[in-house]
Amino acid sequence: MPRAYWYVWWGTLVNRLGGFVIPLLTIYLIEVRRLSVAEAGGIVSVFGAGAVAASIVGGQLSDRLGRRITMVISMFGGAIAMTVLGLVRDLTAITAMVGVVGFVGELYRPAVLAFVADVVPPAQRVYAYGLLHWVINVGFAFAAIVGGLLAEVDFTILFLADAATMAVYGVIVLVAVPETRPAAPPAEAAPVEGAPVETAPSRPAARSWLRDGSFLILFALTLLLALLPNQAGSTLSAHMTWQGFTPAAFGAVMAVNGVLIIALQPALTAWSARRDPSRVLAVAALFYGIGIALHGLAPSFGLHAAAVTVWTLGEIFESPSRSAIVAAMAPADARGRYQGAVVMAFGAAQLVSPKLGTWTWEHVGPDALWGACLVVGVAVALAHVAAGPARRCRMTAASAAAVSGPSPSGSS
């Protein structure tokens, strides 16, 4: 991988190692700020809304201002917002700052995904995105354990440490990461009468992803698939509680996900990088659908852990392959907006899925919920297979257009 990639990789590790606050935000609001469960849940949802907005704005900023400046704004701005969140006490101010943290602190995600596509050759992108997904989970596992211990001492430490690691990431980007945003192609001049006609291919100007039919199919399938892993949160916890399991048992089952990603992601990503990415996404959708549905058939801790194992394989295969496909389909000067759209799909699913899942579980029945998850997984898998040929043509055309265009500024 290029050296610039590793700077961002190490910055991501530092940032995620200090990602203490968001996983423990609900507990902080209930135990320290003395809010009800419903009030805490409403405030946490504001973070999700801010993150959805950040996916759109972050994609625009990374394409128009640059990947580097977007990451810097997000990290330093997020550090300031996180510090303020830890200091405010008024409920309205807390709610507002949670939204600010969700927005400013998440602006960097489309920029990072676009940056990887700028600096990493296409043949290595699946592995590059896989390593980023892996290091995020390493950091998350560390932050969940250490954050819980620090919270018993003083929650203020969490806010300050989280802000500090964001600022460190910002310094790494500011000092060591070059700007890689490709220049937009010049507007075509009107032909001069009598002048020879240019026959060499030229890179077209980026169009909106909303007018890219092949990408819209990928976006819709990503949104549908993203509904499934979100059932492993509030819906699965309610289901296991109904079965008689303790919260500790649910936490132990979910820990299987992080352990498997840390143990298996590098090797399985290297394997999937040599396969057709559309078929990899189809396999991932099957793993997701089957794994989530197995929770409905699992009466024991061991079978719930086995179900987590199955859908974790889907996560390992899906994340890097999907990011690499988006990078290949996007025009070079619109990579931020395309990646931001996919980030938005996951954010939107995170807002909708918990309520949809718990409502279905309670009012229609557990069997209907888990069966619907299987149907969605199979349907998305078949759709990825069907969309594969057209998607490959779209990716080939985008790659040819990118090659014919100017090189990214600041790359080496």
Residues 370 and 274 in one domain: yes
Residue 191 pLDDT exceeds 60: no
Give the residue from 339, 326, 301 showing the smallest Cα distance to 398.
Answer: 326
Rounded to 10 degrees, the C-alpha dihedral 260/265/271/276 comes to 100
Residue 203 pLDDT exceeds 60: no
Residue-wise pLDDT for 371-399, tens only, equals 999 999 999 999 999 998 888 777 776 66
Full domain range(s) for residue 388: 209-403
Residues 166 and 218 in one domain: no
Whether 28 maps to a domain, the answer reads yes
Residue 81: its pLDDT value, please? 96
- CB–CB of 23/143 below 8 Å? yes
Residues 164 and 262 in one domain: no
Residue-wise pLDDT for 3-61, tens only, equals 999 999 999 999 999 888 887 887 788 888 888 867 887 888 888 889 899 999 999 99
Residue 375: its pLDDT value, please? 96
Which residue, of 123, 156, 176, is where some domain finishes?
Answer: 176
* Cβ-count burial 270-296 (b if 16+ within 10 Å, e if not): eebbeeebbebbbbbbbbbbbbbbbbb
Q: Residue 205 — φ and ψ, nearest 5°?
A: -65, 145
Whether 192 maps to a domain, the answer reads no
* Residue whose tokens read 């960097």: 108
Residues 99 and 213 in one domain: no
Q: Give me the DSSP letters along 327-393.
A: HHHS-GGGHHHHHHHHHHHHHHHHHHHHHHHHHHHHHT-HHHHHHHHHHHHHHHHHHHHHHHHHHHH
Chain mean position to CA 33: 29
Residue 196: its pLDDT value, please? 47
Whether 191 maps to a domain, the answer reads no
Q: What is the number of other CB atoms lying within 10 angstroms of the CB of residue 299?
A: 9
The proportion of the chain whose per-residue pLDDT surpasses 70, expressed as a percent, equals 90
Q: What's the CATH code of the domain at 295?
A: 1.20.1250.20
Domains identified in the chain, total number: 2
Residue 164 pLDDT exceeds 90: yes
Residue 185: band (very low, low, confident or very high) from pLDDT cuts 50, 70, 90: low
